[in-house]
Structure 1
Amino acid sequence: MTTSAPGSKFPNLAGLPDLPDFAARARELDANDPLAGYRELFVGTDTPLGYLDGNSLGRPLKRTAEEINRFIHEAWGGRLIRGWDEEWLELPEAIGGQLGRAVLGAAAGQTVIADSTTVVLYKIVRAALAAVKDPRRTEILLDTDNFPTDRYLVEGIAEELRLTLRWIDADPASGVTEGQVREAAGPATAVVLLSHVAYRSGYLADMRGITAAAHEAGALMVWDLCHSAGSVELAVDECDVDFAAGCTYKYLNGGPGSPAFAYVNRRHLPDLHQPIWGWMGRRDAFEMCPGYEPAEGIRRFLSGTPAIFGMIAMKGTLDLIEEAGMGPIRAKATKLTEFAFELHDALLAPLGVEPATPRNPELRGSHVTLNHPSFRDVTAALWDLDVIPDFRAPHGIRIGLSPLSTSFSEVLHGVAAIREQLLQRLSVEG
């Protein structure tokens, strides 16, 4: 793949007396980036807009517009209802299988595309609880800094089933450790639910160690992979994970509201029952007869009609991930976050900005969170200037670095803009 010089698109990097060394370094990093050519495949990367929020919503691929247009005119418009029999009914398992293979480290038959992350997590947690036959296991273990939807839905399940929640008091700057899980899990623990990458700090949990700790306590392990799928190498089969869920609109570029994925370890599938029975999860969806009989395998985790558009969009990114490989993608994510720390130390730390993300690359995902009391206002100003990170209360800017679509020059462009806006506010306050 060939690529133009990303730095040439960002005019704010020219003429700043204290940035020329970083500008040259960013150009060098881009020139030596083996994945640099992938950036041009995404919409908007040929503009000066600096996008540092790929961990919330990924850019669309250019090919997606062509594929959706073709789908509308040929598959939907041409084949109409016949499309369900010819292809669409199989997409949740077909795309799910590719996602499992390319992203999760999961063998075939264990991953399916279905619903939103919240609904998928509800299905998985309820199914896991139903699989625990020991009546003494009445506790769900989770942490205080997990993503809100995870906490809310488990609170609802606990109220629904009259279970007890046991909370790990997570440090937002470090996340949940194996030691904390070993200390908190015990004879009453039924299910442990944690995020692999903390949404706020970017802390990367020890999947293998924590899963083993849950199993040694006799509990089942559920992982939320929203902030790691597509940016961190995963090996859910090797780590003996029981269940996992994640969204597809971040690093997998499925688009706003694209459907989530569910992973269920094959050892659980034969006897597992999920709680939302719908026609697509039945043994024969079109038999239309009384009574629900779950489909064989992972298909039983479907409920309603599959979201075809979202799967078409994410298919392009899954193809790129299979081509590039998760190893090189993770390597670039590490370099991007290392560069963000370099820029922080030189340009933002002197202004009182503090990182909330671990400096050890083995302990972080693909985003870096920086804290300053002025960052809520700074973020709003940056958005008006077409520099787009996101803000997380109480005072954090998250710099989300999507390895296939983000350049090193784009990171410098964004951090330079953060510094400029922060300097303006500090000068006014001073």
Structure 2
Amino acid sequence: MNALPDAAELARLDAADPLRAARDRFALPDGIIYLDGNSLGPPPRRALERLEEAAREEWGQGLIKSWNDAGWMELPLATGRKLAPLIGVDGDEVVCLDTVTILIFKLASALSRKKPEAAIAVERGDFPTDGYVLEGLAALTGCAFKYVEPGTSPAALDPEIGVLVRSAVHYKTAEIADIARWEREARETGLDIIWDLSHAAGLVDLKLKQDGARFAVGCGYKFLNGGPGAPAFVYCRSDEIAGIDHPVTGWLGHDTPFDFVDGYRPAEGIRRFITSSPSILAITSLNAALDAYDAMALSEVEAKARALGDIFLQAGAQLGLDTISPGIGARRGGHVCLRHEHGYAIAQALIARGIIGDFRAPDLMRFGFNPLYLSYREVGEAARQMIEVVETREYERPEFNVRKAVT
């Protein structure tokens, strides 16, 4: 069993950390060890500054002129260009807008239109919204909807399936998909894969274009720290864009919106995914939040996240807890899940101590590790306190066993 690193080792790791200066880019509350950035990232200082500036100056003083003068009309595309290097694609292949659910609907419906006899599918146990929206699409269009068993590769799928939505990082296990292998097999079988990057973007060293990925969506409020309900983003490889005919056609996706003509004609390029007026303040926040990644190597971000997660896996092993995540030293996303029958109460007891993680039914404690603002010392201390809460059975206190709406 690997022992938890002691204070001296944690200090050594922090001193050698190439990402340690990034902590100052975030506005974090005192007395909190935040291990839930995989669910909602904390605010970067630059995002708060830009929100204030955009609200008071661009909106308050510039008023409607800011659509031109402040670049509001181009903001979804400009933010896409800024985000593109974080997922390994070209700047003209990403646009920031809408939500993950809406963007899955847009992409899946467009791809399904080209294969009207094919089924659409999602892995059983993947993030629920991905399946829910495909169920709705199937009910609307009459195409077949299927669940596939986790890990079923494209070569082993039912040949009837033409479109598959799959997470690049699973929201519970943190397993990272082998995108290159899956895309290689998908090309051989004619399958279209929409990758959900919600738990990967900003944490995993993604190289979508190199790996052959053609379609992806992701959210902006987890590791990208864009703010509560931040806009999502869609990636469509440049050679595929012209064939995308999604059904949510709107004014700003038109080729010449300010000609105000009848009849829809899609814009060239990734702009065709824009449906309606963008949420300027929300996209402004995400755009500024991306500055936190300036001069960051995502390979170092992913490696540190794995090392921080290892500390919690070591603590779990010391307690005899099972994990559903890849083990110590293995490649995984930015969180780990530990299993305990009183997981919810343990998570609440830790929150009361200022250590914020979350819980996923039925019995999983989930802890997220964003390397840009977390230190080895903090994660070591959080692991130590988790051991204390479990060993002293502090979690049995009644107040920790009252279920709240958000877990």
What is the TM-score of this pair, normalised by structure 2? 0.92
- Number of the residue aligned with 1:35: 19
Is residue 401 of structure 1 aligned with residue 381 of structure 2?
A: no
Q: Label 1:183 to 1:149 Cα distance change in 2 as closer, same or farther (>3 A).
A: same
Aligned to 1:342: 314
- The 3-state SS of whatever aligns with 1:251 is coil
CA distance in structure 2 between the aligned counterparts of 1:377 and 1:79, rounded to whole angstroms: 50
- 1:163 aligned onto 2:114: no
Q: Structure 1 regions of 5+ residues with no counterpart? A: 1-18, 171-175
* Distance in 2 separating the partners of 1:268 and 1:230: 24
Q: Is the 8 A contact 2:46 2:289 kept in 1?
A: no
1:72-96 deviations in Å (ceiling 9; x for gaps): 2221122110111230000111110
> 2: CA distance between counterparts of 1:246 and 1:386?
29
Counterpart of 1:81? 64
Q: Structure 2 unaligned segments of length 5 or more: list them.
A: 398-407
Superposition pairs of residues 8-407 of structure 1, within 5 angstroms: 22-44=6-28, 47-86=30-69, 87-101=71-85, 103-132=86-115, 135=116, 137-170=117-150, 176=151, 180-186=153-159, 188-346=160-318, 348-349=319-320, 353-359=321-327, 361=329, 363-407=331-375
Instruction: Calculate the aligned-residue CA RMSD, in Å.
Output: 2.0
Secondary structure of the equivalent of 1:263? Answer: strand
For residue 422 of structure 1, what is the aligned residue in structure 2?
390
Partner of 1:16: none
Please state whether the residue corresponding to 2:217 is helix, strand or coil.
strand
Equivalent residue of 1:78, what SS?
coil
- Deviating more after overlay: 103-112 vs 374-383: 374-383
Pairwise CA distance, 1:185: 4.2
Instruction: State the distance in 1 between where 2:269 and 2:5 align.
Output: 56
Given the superposition, is the C-alpha separation of residues 361 and 205 from structure 1 closer, same or farther in structure 2, using an over 3 Å criterion?
Answer: farther
Distance change in 2, residues 1:373/1:330 (3 Å): same
Percent identity, aligned pairs only? Answer: 34
Q: Give the conservation status (yes or no) of the 8 Å contact 2:231–2:286.
A: no
Aligned to 1:13: none
The CA deviation at 1:335 is 1.8
1:83 to 1:363, Cα distance in 2 relative to 1, 3 A = same
Higher mean Cα deviation, 379-388 or 295-304?
A: 379-388
Q: Is the 8 A contact 1:52 1:388 kept in 2?
A: yes
**CA distance in structure 2 between the partners assigned to 1:85 and 1:243 by the alignment:** 30
* Alpha-carbon separation, structure 1, partners of 2:316 and 2:12: 19
Q: Quick one: structure 1 residues 363 and 324, their matched pair in 2 at CA, closer, same or farther if it must change by over 3 Å?
A: closer
What's 1:8 paired with? none
- The aligned amino acid for 1:100 is A
How many aligned residue pairs are there?
Answer: 394
Aligned to 1:421, what secondary structure does the other structure show? helix
